[in-house]
Chain A
Amino acid sequence: MTPPAATSDHLHHLLREMLRIRRFEEKCAELYSSGQIRGFLHLYIGEEAVAVGVMPALGPEDAVVATYREHGHALARGIGANALMAEMFGKQEGCSRGRGGSMHVFDIGARFYGGNAIVAGGLPLAVGLALADRYLGRPRVTACFFGDGAVAEGEFHEALNLAALWRLPVLFICENNLYAMGTRIERALADTDIAARARSYGMDAEAVDGMDVLAVEEASRRLVAAVRDGGGPRFLEARTYRFRAHSMFDAELYRTKAEVEAWKKRDPIDLLRQRAGLGEAEWAALDAAVTDEVAEAVAFAEAGTWEPVEHLTRDVYTPPGGPS
């Protein structure tokens, strides 16, 4: 895929996508405080440039495998804010019929295979999706997102080895936000050069500034093209930072406010806004439009309905007649 020129329109599109995620999640945090969203809620705020930068490199037939911090990926992949917000509420109008909640967003129409709360659990799955594509002769790519915490898991290493061994069409994207929950990378990994670990499996790997959406997009387009051309898997380490707590139960005892403030100076939305040269009026209009979309999503979710308790055991197994 040829990268689009960094036209004004394209920059506005990227900015809008990142802002949609930001405003959506800010609202989610409020709704969590008011008790309308429950369970665990992991916010992507600060990391928006990664998902928004990678998605334009994918086509509609490609697959996405994400983690429990996946609201941003879902929105950027085209899952509607209404269905996503309804999922956050647990309403049956949600994209997973409310069954999964924040951590288990699925939309098979968008080839979005979760929403996986087992750290590194999605990696073997992505390898398998790519294996099926290769086996069945489909020129698709599977994009697999995970965090730096996954790098310490056995499944990370098993999956990278398999993908490289069989030269499968997977783009691995490590969102390195420096903390596995509260454990800083230096306290978790003997070698903190994550891209180097991927290279040790014989796949090309590179690191990119994960706060720069254009840099992420450029790298993603290049790597996805290489994967689609049959070059085997590729690995992108996006160096990013989570501005909010790990989840809503996190007192952030493991990092300093000064560190967080320093990273906020490189807010991916601010960086792109400056680059796009957006004036106050344009910004205000964009923000208002995005805020309206979120408000509509909240209204949609509030008006949503609860799945009848009688449906509790539905879809443990596939009903006769095949998958719905």
Chain B
Amino acid sequence: MSGTRRTTYREAVRGAIRDALRRDPRVFLMGEDVGHYGGAYAVSKGLLAEFGPERIRDTPLSESGFVGAGIGAALGGARPIVEVMTVNFSLLALDQIVNTAATFRHMSGGQVSVPVVIRMATGAGRQLAAQHAHSLEGWLAHVPGLRVVVPATLADARGMLWTALADPDPVLIFEHQTLYNMEGELSVDAGPVDLDRAVVRREGSDVTLVTYGACLYKTLAAADTLAAAQVSAEVIDLRSLRPLDTSTILSSVRKTHRVVVIDEGWRSGGLSAEILARVAESAFYDLDAPVARVCSAEVPIPYPQHLEEAAVPQPAAIVAAALSLMPAAETR
């Protein structure tokens, strides 16, 4: 078959879960309200009726307990998909993610692998305030032993899960909560996608804009604005935060000689610093301007819409950051 069909990000994730459940009897989904409620973001709606309570397993509100149980089940030969409602709640499970999932292979001298997949919602934009809207994926990307991926597109929402389940090591999938309703065309034969490579979503020659997740769309909008101002922006969607595809970033920077990182995480100690440090380490002499970044304001994400919008990266700030790296118009 070929062609595309209209779908949403939510349906793409659900299709990926359904596909995994059908393909591999070892796979099951567990998490808070994934069953009878249908998922906090309605991702798993309908799956309980289709697959039953052993495979669509509602858990109590005990993040450390059920994430740890997912890790143990993965060690025991199952292939659990663990859903944590939001990244803020996953902090209650950090012990199991960081002290168990990330360490067991190395600490045991390579005797075990932990093939668990943990999905969670991340990010601001729905006025959910300071305990449901942070972008903490950069923290997890700090930890060796984990893989951290961020599907921004329908194809990645559909394809990353299967690849993650086939990966022998723990994979964390971050789904930005503003993307679930995003509609678009998805190939009817969409399938597994790689988890390693960043992708150039828009080619350009003057400045490289590096981003991931929902910021991809703000960045693409900024690139449109920049194009109108005669600035050709290349947009890179990282897709994977650990490992980072440094070579794709460096290749682009060596071409454009300018770079801006757009990250919904906070600036201080954040992922943007890591990316720009790598650029400075390896492409310093290719740069025609200082490195730049657009990050979230260093505040807990506030509730009112105008303050929430002001707290996270917006296209105007991305445009301004890119323009600040360009020579004055008369010298271009």
Chain A, interface residues (CB within 8 Å), range: 35 or more
Q: Contact mask B39-56 → A, CB, 8 Å, 1/0?
A: 000000000000000100
B77: Cβ under 8 A from any A Cβ: yes
B204: Cβ under 8 A from any A Cβ: no
Contact, CB under 8 Å: A129 / B65: no
Contact, CB under 8 Å: B71 / A128: yes
Q: Contact mask A270-312 → B, CB, 8 Å, 1/0?
A: 0000000000000000000000000000000000000000000
Contact, CB under 8 Å: A135 / B54: yes
Contact, CB under 8 Å: A96 / B111: yes
A258: Cβ under 8 A from any B Cβ: no
Interface residues of A in 227-262 (CB under 8 A from B): none
Contact, CB under 8 Å: B76 / A131: yes
Residue of A125, A315, A318 touching B109 (CB-CB under 8 A): A315
A108: Cβ under 8 A from any B Cβ: yes
Contact, CB under 8 Å: B99 / A97: no
Distance between B175 CB and nearest chain A CB, rounded to angstroms: 23
Contact, CB under 8 Å: A131 / B73: yes
Contact, CB under 8 Å: A108 / B111: yes
Contact, CB under 8 Å: B104 / A114: yes
Contact, CB under 8 Å: B108 / A100: yes
Contact, CB under 8 Å: A315 / B106: yes
A16: Cβ under 8 A from any B Cβ: no
A107: Cβ under 8 A from any B Cβ: yes
B236: Cβ under 8 A from any A Cβ: no
A133: Cβ under 8 A from any B Cβ: yes
Distance between B206 CB and nearest chain A CB, rounded to angstroms: 37
Contact, CB under 8 Å: B73 / A132: yes
A127: Cβ under 8 A from any B Cβ: yes
Contact, CB under 8 Å: A96 / B107: yes
Q: Contact mask A308-324 → B, CB, 8 Å, 1/0?
A: 00000011111000111
Contact, CB under 8 Å: B99 / A118: yes
Contact, CB under 8 Å: B113 / A323: yes
Q: Contact mask B56-79 → A, CB, 8 Å, 1/0?
A: 000110101111111111111110
Residue of A94, A131, A315 touching B105 (CB-CB under 8 A): A315
B100: Cβ under 8 A from any A Cβ: yes
A316 with B106, Cβ < 8 A, contacts A113-B75, A121-B96, A128-B72 known: yes
A30: Cβ under 8 A from any B Cβ: no
Bound Cα distance from A120 to B104, whole angstroms:
16
A104: Cβ under 8 A from any B Cβ: yes
A128 with B74, Cβ < 8 A, contacts A135-B54, A158-B65, A318-B105 known: yes
Contact, CB under 8 Å: A121 / B99: yes
A128 with B60, Cβ < 8 A, contacts A106-B108, A106-B112 known: no
Distance between B100 CB and nearest chain A CB, rounded to angstroms: 6
A317 with B110, Cβ < 8 A, contacts A124-B96, A125-B72 known: no
Residue of B54, B62, B100 touching A125 (CB-CB under 8 A): B100
Interface residues of B in 117-159 (CB under 8 A from A): 144-145, 147
A129 proximity list for chain B (CB < 8 A)? 72-73, 75-76
Chain B residues within 8 Å of chain A by Cβ, number: 41
A126: Cβ under 8 A from any B Cβ: yes
Best-surrounded residue of B54, B65, B78 (most CB of chain A within 10 A): B65
A159: Cβ under 8 A from any B Cβ: yes
Interface residues of B in 223-262 (CB under 8 A from A): none
Bound Cα distance from A55 to B29, whole angstroms:
33
Residue of B59, B95, B108 touching A108 (CB-CB under 8 A): B108
B5: Cβ under 8 A from any A Cβ: no
B22: Cβ under 8 A from any A Cβ: no
Distance between B189 CB and nearest chain A CB, rounded to angstroms: 26
In the complex, residue of chain B having the shortest beta-carbon distance to the beta carbon of A317: B169
Bound Cα distance from A125 to B93, whole angstroms:
12
Contact, CB under 8 Å: B72 / A131: yes
Bound Cα distance from A165 to B61, whole angstroms:
13
Contact, CB under 8 Å: A323 / B109: no
A188: Cβ under 8 A from any B Cβ: no
Distance between A162 CB and nearest chain B CB, rounded to angstroms: 5
B54 proximity list for chain A (CB < 8 A)? 135
Residue of B68, B70, B95, B107 touching A100 (CB-CB under 8 A): B107
Residue of B69, B77, B107 touching A124 (CB-CB under 8 A): B69
Bound Cα distance from A92 to B145, whole angstroms:
20
In the complex, residue of chain A having the shortest beta-carbon distance to the beta carbon of B114: A318
Contact, CB under 8 Å: A135 / B28: yes
A5: Cβ under 8 A from any B Cβ: no
A136 with B109, Cβ < 8 A, contacts A155-B64, A162-B66, A317-B169 known: no
B192: Cβ under 8 A from any A Cβ: no
Q: Contact mask A140-160 → B, CB, 8 Å, 1/0?
A: 000000000000001101110
A131 proximity list for chain B (CB < 8 A)? 69, 72-73, 76, 78
In the complex, residue of chain A having the shortest beta-carbon distance to the beta carbon of B116: A128
Beyond the given A135-B28, A316-B144, please list 18 additional residue pairs across the A-B interface where CB-CB is below 8 A. Answer: A99-B107, A106-B108, A116-B100, A123-B68, A124-B65, A124-B69, A125-B69, A125-B75, A125-B100, A128-B68, A128-B70, A135-B78, A136-B76, A158-B62, A158-B65, A162-B65, A162-B69, A316-B105
5 contacts between A and B (CB under 8 A): A92-B109, A131-B69, A136-B78, A158-B65, A162-B62
Q: Which 7 pairs show the lowest CB-CB distances between chains A and B?
A: A128-B72, A124-B68, A97-B109, A132-B76, A158-B65, A158-B62, A315-B110
| Chain B residues engaging chain A, CB cutoff 8 angstroms | 26, 28, 54, 59-60, 62, 64-78, 80, 95-96, 99-100, 104-113, 144-145, 147, 168-169
